[in-house]
Amino acid sequence: MEMGCYVNGQSENVYEISSTVSRPPADPKQDNNKATNKKTLIVLAISLGICVLVSVAAFILFMQLQNEMNGMKEKLDKFSEIDSSLAIKINDTQKTSSSIKDELKNMKNEVSQLDSKILIGDTKLNANLTEANSRMNKMFSISGWFRASNNLIYKRFTYSVNYATAKAQCERLGARLVSTGMRNNQVKNEIFPKHYLTRGSWIGLDDISHEGIWVWSDDVNGSPSAIWASGEPNGGSSENCVIIFYNTKIVGNDVACSAVNRFVCEREFE
The CATH number of the structural domain formed by 145-268 is 3.10.100.10
Domain boundaries, the chain: 145-268
Residue type, 18: S
pLDDT of res. 186 = 94
| pLDDT digits 0-9 by tens, 101-119 | 888 888 888 888 887 888 8
pLDDT reported for residue 4 = 46
Contacting residues for 211 by C-beta, under 8 A, at least 6 apart: 236, 237, 240
Residues 6+ apart with CB under 8 A from 16: 1, 2, 3
> Distances in Å between the alpha carbon of 257 and those of 112, 128, 208?
64, 46, 9
Sign (positive/negative) of CA torsion 200, 201, 206, 208?
positive
Which pLDDT belongs to residue 134?
Answer: 63
Where the chain has pLDDT below 50, the residues are 1-21, 141
Answer for the pair 148, 265: CB distance below 8 angstroms, yes or no.
no
pTM equals 0.51
Using DSSP's 3-state secondary structure scheme, residue 127 falls into helix
Cα gap 196→201, rounded to integer Å: 8
* Contact call for residues 244 and 252 (beta carbons, < 8 A): yes
Query: Within 13 Å, how many C-alpha atoms sit on residue 268's CB side?
Result: 2
**Considering only CA atoms, which of 111, 249, 266 is closest in space to residue 173?**
266
Q: Which residues, 6 or more positions from 221, have their beta carbon under 8 angstroms from its beta carbon?
A: 213, 214, 215
Q: Which amino acid is at 181?
A: G
